[in-house]
Amino acid sequence: MGYNHETGVMEIHKQGTYLIDWNIVVEGSQEKPCVRFGVEVNGEVKASATLPVSVGQLSGQALINVCQIPTTVRLINDTNEIVQLSNSTPIANLRVVSVE
């Protein structure tokens, strides 16, 4: 597995079943009353979470079966609006764990 800090993309290089666990802390959206983030796997959103207000913490999980090598995983803003991230640390986490 490899993570690119510049793009935010994690690559999985081994077939198998993986648990993706993520969270992010946000401090608002300019236009939307709620915020939505999700996990994108090979360009397709697999799991997402919506925060009914624009300030707080979102989290989610997805169980994926990896057949295509490499498989890319990234956390995305699915709000369709610019979202202000928190100043707290950590701002976001993305964890990918093999469950075999």
Pick from 12-21, 22-31, 62-71: least confident: 22-31
Domains of the chain by residue range: 2-98
Higher pLDDT, 54 or 39: 39
Q: Which CATH number fits domain 2-98: 3.90.1150.10, 2.40.160.40, 2.60.120.40, 2.40.128.260?
A: 2.60.120.40
- DSSP assignments along 27-65, one per residue: EEESS-SSEEEEEEETTEEEEEEEESSSEEEEEEEEEEE
Q: Is the pLDDT of residue 32 over 90?
A: no
Q: Report the predicted TM-score, pTM, of the whole model to 2 decimal places.
A: 0.84
What are 55-77's pLDDT values in tens digits? Answer: 889 899 999 999 999 999 999 99
Q: Helix H segments across the chain?
A: none
